[in-house]
Amino acid sequence: MSTDLIARYSTPVPRYTSYPTAPHFHAGVTNSTYAGWLKGLPAEATISLYLHIPYCDRLCWFCGCHTKHTLRYEPIADYLVALHAEIDWVSAQLEGRGLMTAIHLGGGSPTLLRPADLLALRTRLDERFTLASDAEISIEIDPNDIDAGRYDAMAAFGLTRASIGVQDFDPRVQKAINRLQSFEDTRGVVEAMRARGVRSVNLDLLYGLPFQTEAGLARTIEAALSLNPDRAALFGYAHVPWMKTHQKMIPEEALPDKFVRFAQAQLAANLLAQGGMEPIGFDHFAMPDDSLAIAARTGTLRRNFQGYTDDAADALIGLGASAIGQLPQGYIQNITATGDYSRAVRDGGVAVARGFALNPVDRLRAEAISALLCRFTLAPGDVSRFGAAGKALMDEARLLALTDRDGLTAMAGDRFVVTETGKPFVRTIAALFDTYLAAGTARHSLAV
């Protein structure tokens, strides 16, 4: 890959876990808007639940999530009272409608929850919602938070997929990002989860970290593959210290430039593929028999706020501070500050801060961007239901391909395709279909 292409196309753009992206959400979507959207879901709707636990007992300096450091359990216990109340409010709006097909606990560190509190949360969900017997249940795990009681509680909760943050196994890199975590500790979590019948393990890996080298990253990938993961996510570190001030603790002079980042990304992706994992979109990998790989092969892969997914639910309901929901009508996001969130829930059962109601043009462009990110192609059939507007978008795509002198895109018959050269830059290509991006003021991380 030429340095000229890397320089021009590794630009800061959104990750497109939604369209329009979160910086365009606004306060015009309110608690009452959300209530109406929930009441509008049909009785047979399938629903995924995302529960956000925004606390950590250590603050990793690379982290871009909404989280809060605490060494005391009292704030977590108080927060859970509000989370239970929000569950009650959402249940009241649904009035028994919907089947919950997936539950994901994210953070922060959900594994901070005491076993009794984790099981009480599951009891509350069972009491308020109808859960599918085969619901996929995943929890983000920090190996430093775990003990035997928590392992058993997660198994009793019904865990089917353990998502384990690895980042990098190099001690120098770990020290630079304040994430000390040995390979042995990580292996212990994987073995404990397998022993308790958890059928799927996902590992999160990062490139672009301070002091990271290709040789060190290769050792990390080799070690990760030795754990026989079912899935792996390979993310580029997003250095956004203007948003996450704790990232200022990371020495910027130790960060790789965009050319080194690109080489690291390609190396890691090739090693994961050589280890038997299939590439999923631009940053996920899965074993061939994993449901994510099957979804990619059958054209049913989707993208939401957790990244690539085979979750086909009609709606995603976000619960907890800063949580984002995705309903047929649009997006909602809760208040971010935990104290403000808890007070709002105590006052009214709900804590919407902002959101976005979708119009037909938004839905059209969301479909086009999703097709590119999930399948690297945009076909007339993807947008045919939008009639003349869909045809006009395909004309727009055709013009982009015909004027692309760098060979990142092409037309294959009537399909707009991202070429092998263009695949590493698919986020940048998707951004060409984003009519909100130029008008926004948000700053983004590098595309590669």
Can you spell out the DSSP letters for 81-127?
Answer: HHHHHHHHHHHHHHTT--EEEEEEEEES-GGGS-HHHHHHHHHHHHH
Bigger pLDDT: 57 vs 439 = 57
Instruction: Report the pLDDT value the prediction gives residue 306, as an integer from 0 to 100.
Output: 86
Region 221-226: mean pLDDT is 98
Residues 156 and 213 in one domain: yes
Given pLDDT bands bounded at 50, 70 and 90, which one contains residue 47?
A: very high
Residue 443 has pLDDT above 70, yes or no: no
pLDDT in tens, 165-195: 999 999 999 999 999 999 999 999 999 999 9
The rounded distance, in Å, linking the Cα atoms of 42 and 28 is 24
The rounded distance, in Å, linking the Cα atoms of 422 and 437 is 20
Mean residue pLDDT across the chain: 95
Region 386-415: mean pLDDT is 98
Residue 250 has pLDDT above 90, yes or no: yes
Instruction: Report the pLDDT value the prediction gives residue 58, as an integer from 0 to 100.
Output: 87
**442 within some domain:** no
Residues 11 and 100 in one domain: yes
Domain boundary among the residues 309, 341, 357 is at 357
Residue 98 has pLDDT above 70, yes or no: yes
Residues 111 and 233 in one domain: yes
**441 within some domain:** no
In the chain, the amino acid numbered 157 is F
Region 151-169: mean pLDDT is 96
Residue 448 has pLDDT above 80, yes or no: no
Q: Report residue 34 CA to chain centroid gap.
A: 22
**The CATH number of the domain where 417 resides is what?**
1.10.10.920
Of 91, 125, 104, 34, nearest to 328 by C-alpha is 34
Residues 269 and 366 in one domain: no
**403 within some domain:** yes
Instruction: Report the pLDDT value the prediction gives residue 445, as an integer from 0 to 100.
Output: 64
Domain boundary among the residues 357, 386, 411 is at 357
Residues 335 and 404 in one domain: no
Region 126-130: mean pLDDT is 98
Instruction: Report the pLDDT value the prediction gives residue 317, as an integer from 0 to 100.
Output: 98
Any idea what the Cα angle at residue 295 is, between residues 105 and 307, rounded to 5°?
40
**The CATH number of the domain where 12 resides is what?**
3.80.30.20
Residues 74 and 159 in one domain: yes
Residue 334 has pLDDT above 80, yes or no: yes
Q: Which residues share a beta bridge with 326?
A: 316, 331
Residue 415 lies in domain: 360-436
- The runs of H, that is alpha helices, within 40-94 are 74-94
Residues 307 and 158 in one domain: yes
Region 241-264: mean pLDDT is 93
Residues 163 and 224 in one domain: yes
Residue 446 has pLDDT above 70, yes or no: no
Residues 351 and 377 in one domain: no
The rounded distance, in Å, linking the Cα atoms of 409 and 401 is 5
**232 within some domain:** yes
Residues 200 and 309 in one domain: yes
Domain boundary among the residues 298, 323, 357 is at 357
Region 61-70: mean pLDDT is 87
Given pLDDT bands bounded at 50, 70 and 90, which one contains residue 242?
A: confident
Which of the residue ranges 6-20, 43-57, 264-278, 406-420 would you say has the lowest mean pLDDT?
A: 6-20
Region 99-124: mean pLDDT is 97
**pLDDT over 90 percentage in the chain:** 89
Residues 162 and 24 in one domain: yes
pTM of the entire structure?
0.94
Residue 68 has pLDDT above 90, yes or no: no
Domain count, the chain: 2
Of 360, 355, 349, nearest to 94 by C-alpha is 349
Instruction: Report the pLDDT value the prediction gives residue 447, as an integer from 0 to 100.
Output: 66
Q: Are 316 and 325 in contact (CB under 8 A)?
A: yes
In the chain, the amino acid numbered 146 is I
pLDDT in tens, 337-393: 999 999 999 999 999 999 999 999 999 999 999 999 999 999 999 999 999 999 999
